[in-house]
Amino acid sequence: MRVLQFAKRSVVTVALVSVALTACGGDPTSDAPFNPGGTSADIEAMNSTFASPTFNSFSTFSWMFAPALGGSPIISNAVAAINARGKSPAEIRAAAARVAQRFAATARKADGLSTSEAAMAIPAGVAGRTFIYDPGTDAYVLSDRALLATNKVRFILYAVDPVTFGPVIPLVETGYVELTDLSEGSTQAARIQVVSGTTTYVDYTVTGTSSASSARITVSGYVTDGYVQANMTLRSVFSFTSGLSLIYSLDVPQRGVSVDLTHQQDTPTSPVNISLIVRGPNGTVTMSGQFIGADGTLNIRINGDAFATITTTETSVTITRGDGTPLADDEYEALNGVFEIQVSANLAFSQMMAPVGGLFSEP
């Protein structure tokens, strides 16, 4: 039996793990034998894809964009979900659910409006403008830089101190984030591109649609460190009668690794059901179970065979091998890495939604 004490997470650390997910289908078994060291290396490779200085700057500054665009409360009220320092896994899961529900409410409202009313829009006063960070107010302000197309707005990024996770002073400009309004009819949509030099490190589209019975928010695109690319799809499906599903997907073709994670919750106070599959050249690990608040029990299977059980509390994670024998060090490291994917994945949705919170209609 191994016990892990939860450490406090930084925005950057969580970001590296939270989006490390891939899409895969079919039976959750693999012909490849389980290689714990190889599995850990695969997870680390996925994490490193999100470890570029540009992505770190994006994670640090993106929550400031919505207030600069006019202060939609959807993300402004959920800053705690994005800043994960000191947050427990249960708090991160709950925060992600709240953000998804808020955006579902905007999509539901849009479904009842006319086409012109429903569309997302960059406020006229800032359309085509570029924002720069003001250290004096710790906020973004309009600049006098050259105008862009009227369906775009740009935010300059800066170097981030690796210790404080705040901007380096004096400011060092490193790139920019460009938001493009792609809304059409009753579909609210925006494209987010994170650029430094000649490289686009992050490029994804956020789309929100709604029907009489449900609302769907989809994040689809890629992240790269300039060498390895991770293709991601994050979906939030909120049924107005049967609850919330968060589905996280990402693949790293260079590693041949894929992961699927589904988070299902009927009501805000209901148990959270988790299903996770990590598949690649080093075997397949599946994890399924339930959380009630901070307390959880998850069953681990390796290539389809029962292997271990993970139990959680507010402060610890205990991994127990099914036959009662001790886990080898490399087995523990691999299983803990898999567990950490689901712990942090709930933050991904909030982080990717943060830049566009000021564009979606308020509920």
User: Does the N-terminal peptide bond of residue 170 adopt cis geometry, omega within 30 degrees of 0?
Assistant: yes
Please report whether residue 131 resides in a domain.
yes
Q: What is the pLDDT of residue 11?
A: 34
Please report whether residue 361 resides in a domain.
no
For the whole model, what pTM was predicted?
0.81
Please report whether residue 178 resides in a domain.
yes
Low-confidence ranges of the chain (pLDDT < 70): 1-31, 71-121, 240, 343-348, 358-363
Please report whether residue 363 resides in a domain.
no
Torsion of CA 152, 358, 154, 84, to 10 degrees: -140
Instruction: Output phi, psi for 166, to 5 deg.
Output: -105, 170
Please report whether residue 25 resides in a domain.
yes
Q: What is the pLDDT of residue 38?
A: 95
Please report whether residue 163 resides in a domain.
yes
Number of Cβ atoms within 10 Å of the Cβ of 16: 21
Residues 339-352 pLDDT 10s: 888 766 666 677 78
What's the domain count of the chain? 1
Please report whether residue 362 resides in a domain.
no
Residues 195-245 pLDDT 10s: 999 999 999 999 887 777 778 888 999 999 999 889 999 888 877 677 888
Q: What is the pLDDT of residue 179?
A: 95
Q: What is the pLDDT of residue 69?
A: 84
DSSP state of 354: G
Distance from CA of residue 48 to its chain's centroid? Answer: 15
Number of Cβ atoms within 10 Å of the Cβ of 336: 18
Q: What is the pLDDT of residue 57?
A: 93
Enumerate long-range contacts of 245-251, CB under 8 Å, 24 or more apart.
Answer: 246/96, 246/97, 246/100, 246/346, 246/349, 248/19, 248/21, 248/345, 248/348, 248/349, 249/21, 249/22, 249/23, 250/19, 250/20, 250/21, 250/22, 250/23, 250/46, 251/22, 251/23, 251/24
Q: What is the pLDDT of residue 35?
A: 97
Q: What is the pLDDT of residue 288?
A: 97
Which residues span the domain enclosing 49?
Answer: 2-356
Q: What is the pLDDT of residue 204?
A: 96
Q: What is the pLDDT of residue 142?
A: 96
Distance CA 306, CA 314 (A): 25
